[in-house]
Structure 1
Amino acid sequence: MRKVKAAVIGTGFIGKAHVEAIRRMGHVELAAIVLDGQEKADAAAASLHVPKAYGNYRDLLHDSEIEVIHNCTPNHMHFEINKQALLHGKHVLSEKPLTRTYEESQELYLLAREKGLVTGVNFNYRQFPMIQHLRAMVQDNDLGDIRLVRGSYLQDWLFYDTDYNWRIEPEYGGKTRAIGDIGSHVFDLAQYVTGMRIVEVFADTVTAIPKRYKPLHQWSTFHSGSKEETELVDIHTEDYGSVLVKFENGGRGVFTVSQISAGKKNALELHIDGSKASVSWRQEEPNHLDVGFRDKPAETVRRDPGCVKAAALPYLHYPGGHEEGWPESLKNMMLHFYDQVLGMDNRSQSVASFEEGHNIMLIEEAIVKSAETGSWQKIEALY
């Protein structure tokens, strides 16, 4: 198998996670790092032991050795970088959201289809072995008809009014925050696992902390500090949201997201209620599923090669009892993405494409309209 040369743009929290996952695969070479400014790029490349450094991503686009670009920049930079990468013939793995608006995401989706390049959006929670097992349970009709899908994603990293991050500001993060930042994972996961599209939404969102103390200096992800060297600013993105949904098969769903729930660090949960059984999965305890029945004792299915369905086996890398978690989900996503780059069969279709990234943007747009109007909103067609 030949080695594919890749570049990572951005080395914040998620950028460094991409760097680590790339190096764990073996058949992909991290050949370049890109940051805004040559001095910063050189320092990051030296620190991460990467041979090439670019202080401007446009210079990277002309590097013929680079086949794949990992876009790990803040949200407001996703559209133009993704677009230019496609125009220059590069495969693209982008952080979510695909863009800040559905108009931009539609342009990227159509451009990717025209160019015939491999594209991916990092909805990595699809890649957990027990999520793959759960998806296979749905496909095998183990749960019966899906009646209800319940989900939540709760965090506390913006609990205090001194907590601040660029995601709070619409010009950088987009007009929805909790919904777009973490809710997008719930919507994607619900659709991917069940195979059912969300067709209508009814939403309620709240900015519980209407003013926050913004640092006067540069801040990082998960910044938490004091009121020193800050300014008090108005907040225009939501801290919390709840969404009722209708699925295309007539099933119903309810999802809650929050970035102000004390004690919740990365509490993503998915619960599926069918006509035969119900199943629950929790990201902070990712290596088992709880299966419930009406007339017999509940069961727990654990992440073990001898216990999971065949469809989940490619996502396991260690024997039972050797727990795998969030870093493995990122590696799994990249393994399947690079299978596509190398022209190999990707039977699971587990990597979210730009088309699916665009679909999530359409859902978010409908949620914003619903919260503003207090009414049900239909999800627009892809194009």
Structure 2
Amino acid sequence: MTTDVIAPTRTRRAGFIGGGFMAAVHSRAARAARAELVGAASSTSGRAAAAAERLGLGAAYDSFEALLADPDIDVVHICTPNTTHARFARAALEAGKHVVCEKPLATTAADAVELVRLADERGLVAAVPFVYRFHPMVREARARVAAGETGRLLSVHGAYLQDWLSTPGDDDWRVDPALGGPSRAFADIGSHLVDLVEFVAGERIARLTASTSTAYAERADHVAVETEDLVALVVEFASGALGTLLVSQVAPGRKNALSIELAGTEASIRFEQERPDTLWVGRTAASSIIERDPARLDADAARLSLVPAGHPMGYQDAFNAFVADAYAAIDGARPDGLPVFADGLRAAQVTEAVLASAERRDWTEVPA
């Protein structure tokens, strides 16, 4: 695989299904990748028109079917509520479009399996934005672990903490299983945490035991809330390494506190998303902070470092890099670490294992 992103051989023409916050993030990334932003479809033609105007898209489609029927659109970005992802992704693939689908790819592993198969059969690029992989210092951590700098993996500690649902008055469509699916906190942000841990470690979780909690049974617009606010996991990797993971959307003061720490026989390594330009490397004799300096990083980390050391990079930069790599893959490149539908399937499988374990209160195997 190459670690270089190849410039597009022609201008990509992108369509967007959905017009909310994530559509704005996707459209900025597509524009940065020099795509032509053709238009949007949404739940109504009026919402599509509003999204097209707000996001600077070329047109508004009366329906997602009309968008998919446009022969000029190469790639479709799906930015809609969770339970619609599988239906829209399936329709886009059947229409011969490359797909960038928000996570979760599907709210059941069975649907995700079908989407992986369909993308493979059609020979289409199908990507899922596990974008935290695209922070340069995540790639640096991954390279150091792969090179043996940390030694044999012994333990992992990770957390993803947010506070945007921390009071009963806080609410969102994701609370409703009809829109968000059977899992909320884990499917929404825990999936990012597991993907990041497995990506950096180069190992997969083999089994887990989980406990979930719903802090508020009633919210502003929802009663009898069923989806979880918190998830705590103990995990065991295929190698025998152990880990603890905590996921919460009710942690006051924590805005997007995603962190992972891997401890091996030789060293520990820690990445924090809210401080994305540094890594902490711990050793028994001394510890150090590694700065994001392209001249001193692994090649895969350096190629994602678009600005010199000391100039901060963040979430949108990571998202832009993800979309650039997805578009490069459409042009025939093989960018290292691009998260595809198989990674979306992995997230669905882990999510189902978490829910099953929490219900049975027992260890659950995660499909390999």
Same fold (TM over 0.5): yes
C-alpha distance in structure 1 between counterparts of 2:62 and 2:173, whole Å: 21
If the length of structure 1 is used for normalisation, what is the TM-score? 0.92
Paired AA for residue 21 in structure 1: A
- 1:261 aligned partner: 251
- 2:264 aligned partner: 274
* 1:101 is aligned to 2:108: yes
Tell me if the contact between 2:258 and 2:274 (Cα under 8 Å) persists in the aligned partners.
Answer: yes
Gaps of 5+ in 2: 1-8
C-alpha distance in structure 1 between counterparts of 2:323 and 2:275, whole Å: 22
C-alpha distance in structure 2 between counterparts of 1:243 and 1:145, whole Å: 22
Q: Give SS of 1:160's match.
A: coil
- 2:172 aligned partner: 165
Q: Give SS of 1:380's match.
A: coil
Q: Give SS of 1:233's match.
A: coil
Q: CA deviation at 1:10?
A: 1.1
Tell me if the contact between 2:209 and 2:354 (Cα under 8 Å) persists in the aligned partners.
Answer: yes
* 1:379 is aligned to 2:366: yes
Paired AA for residue 150 in structure 2: L
Tell me if the contact between 2:209 and 2:235 (Cα under 8 Å) persists in the aligned partners.
Answer: yes
Paired AA for residue 172 in structure 1: L
If the length of structure 2 is used for normalisation, what is the TM-score? 0.96
Match of 1:301 among 290, 294, 301: 290
Q: Give SS of 1:7's match.
A: strand
* 1:368 is aligned to 2:355: yes
1:332-366, Cα deviation, whole Å (9 max, x unpaired): 101111110011232x1x22111111011111101
- 2:19 aligned partner: 11
Paired AA for residue 309 in structure 2: G
1:45-91, Cα deviation, whole Å (9 max, x unpaired): 23333222112111111111001000011101101000010111110
Tell me if the contact between 1:6 and 1:30 (Cα under 8 Å) persists in the aligned partners.
Answer: yes
Tell me if the contact between 1:9 and 1:35 (Cα under 8 Å) persists in the aligned partners.
Answer: yes
- 1:222 aligned partner: none
Tell me if the contact between 2:20 and 2:51 (Cα under 8 Å) persists in the aligned partners.
Answer: no
C-alpha distance in structure 1 between counterparts of 2:55 and 2:347, whole Å: 33
* 1:203 is aligned to 2:210: yes
| Counterpart mapping for 1:77-96 below 5 A | 77-96=84-103
- 2:55 aligned partner: 48
Tell me if the contact between 1:100 and 1:175 (Cα under 8 Å) persists in the aligned partners.
Answer: yes
More off after superposition, 302-311 vs 127-136: 302-311
Q: CA deviation at 1:307?
A: 2.1
- 2:325 aligned partner: 336
| Counterpart mapping for 1:24-173 below 5 A | 24-26=32-34, 28-173=35-180
More off after superposition, 98-107 vs 39-48: 39-48
Q: CA deviation at 1:32?
A: 1.3
Q: CA deviation at 1:134?
A: 0.4
Tell me if the contact between 2:40 and 2:67 (Cα under 8 Å) persists in the aligned partners.
Answer: no
Q: Percent identity?
A: 38
C-alpha distance in structure 2 between counterparts of 1:162 and 1:47, whole Å: 28
Match of 1:245 among 228, 235, 241: 235
- 1:289 aligned partner: 279
C-alpha distance in structure 1 between counterparts of 2:11 and 2:105, whole Å: 27
Match of 1:192 among 191, 195, 199: 199
Q: Give SS of 2:203's match.
A: coil
Q: Give SS of 2:220's match.
A: strand
C-alpha distance in structure 1 between counterparts of 2:62 and 2:205, whole Å: 41
Q: Give SS of 1:238's match.
A: coil
C-alpha distance in structure 2 between counterparts of 1:166 and 1:109, whole Å: 27
- 1:351 aligned partner: 338
Q: CA deviation at 1:233?
A: 1.0
Tell me if the contact between 2:295 and 2:302 (Cα under 8 Å) persists in the aligned partners.
Answer: no
C-alpha distance in structure 1 between counterparts of 2:203 and 2:36, whole Å: 37
C-alpha distance in structure 1 between counterparts of 2:14 and 2:49, whole Å: 17
Q: CA deviation at 1:246?
A: 1.1
C-alpha distance in structure 2 between counterparts of 1:38 and 1:49, whole Å: 16
Alignment RMSD (CA, Å) = 1.1
C-alpha distance in structure 2 between counterparts of 1:8 and 1:209, whole Å: 34
Q: CA deviation at 1:139?
A: 1.0
C-alpha distance in structure 2 between counterparts of 1:179 and 1:22, whole Å: 27
More off after superposition, 65-74 vs 34-43: 34-43
1:148-184, Cα deviation, whole Å (9 max, x unpaired): 1111000111111011111111111111111111100
C-alpha distance in structure 2 between counterparts of 1:40 and 1:363, whole Å: 34
- The number of aligned residues is 360
1:211-252, Cα deviation, whole Å (9 max, x unpaired): 2221xxxxxxxxxxxxxxxxx611101111101111111111
Paired AA for residue 250 in structure 1: G
Q: Give SS of 1:6's match.
A: strand
Tell me if the contact between 1:40 and 1:55 (Cα under 8 Å) persists in the aligned partners.
Answer: no
